[in-house]
Amino acid sequence: MYQTDPPLSPEEVLPTMYDLMSEDPKEPGLPDHFHLLQPRLLDESFNSPSYPSDKIFTASDMNLYYDPHHPTWYKRPDWFVAVDVSPLYKNGDLRLSYVVWQERMRPFIIVELLSPGTEKEELGQTLRDVAKPPTKWEVYEKILRIPYYAIFDRYKYEFKMFKLDGGRYAEVILSDSRFWIPEIELGLGVWEGSYHNIQQPWLRWYDSSGNWVLTPTEAERRQKERLIEQLRALGVEPDLE
């Protein structure tokens, strides 16, 4: 599903991920703390019943090379997931970048975390400079045709979801800041809670019952709590040290 068009020329004449730049030293600044934690929570809570873990690749702040006509052009989404692909490049190496014409599978959903300097581009409110590569919105909507595009404003804690409809993005009216995605049997929504001891609204995944998908740490903690309850029900006071 969501396969890309075949490359213009044989694969060997196009650059691979080893040939393409994975970092740009001229790019100003590094991700702030929120841009490190929020993608991590999206990773940890992405547990799709539709795809096993060996058929899911998630990435944050990774170069996404999208156009074989212009093989050095790339975007760096804050977070994305590609399904029905291996988490490793050609089942062996950790990826340096995600090269769409080699993977033959475009991302299924992209999440951008709004920043003051990139807000207009990510919301599709900037016009393209013909002397420069296309904007993120153009790439996601018109070139890659990403099925779902989510935007989360970390300052206002506003969540917007766009779904590809007839070749263009249509904003979805959200109920309770949640959106269900049937293809992956997961929903994306705004959760108010503490993650890494930081209490605030976060974007995370929920299951078909409407429950937030637990992170590995949360699942381990819940399992421990249940064990303690079972021991106490048997009249045994557990050693909690």
Which single residue is written with the structure tokens 């599903």?
1
Question: Half-sphere exposure (CA, 13 Å, Cβ side) for 209?
Answer: 5
Each residue's pLDDT tens digit, 94-152: 999 999 999 999 999 999 998 776 777 787 777 777 888 999 999 999 999 999 999 99
Question: Half-sphere exposure (CA, 13 Å, Cβ side) for 232?
Answer: 9
Task: Give the strand pairing for 168-171 and 178-181.
Answer: unpaired
Could you tell me which residues are beta bridge partners of residue 200? 193
Each residue's pLDDT tens digit, 79-94: 999 999 999 998 789 9
pTM: 0.86
Q: Could you tell me which residue, 18 or 211, shows the higher pLDDT?
A: 211
Task: Give the strand pairing for 56-59 and 74-75.
Answer: unpaired
Confidence at residue 209, expressed as pLDDT on a 0 to 100 scale: 97
Q: What is the mean pLDDT of the chain?
A: 89
Produce one character per residue of 115-130: b if its CB has 16 or more CB atoms within 10 Å, e if not.
beeeeebbbbeeeeee
The amino acid at residue 3 is: Q
Each residue's pLDDT tens digit, 179-234: 999 999 999 999 999 999 999 999 999 999 999 999 999 989 888 888 888 878 88
Contacting residues for 27 by C-beta, under 8 A, at least 6 apart:
none
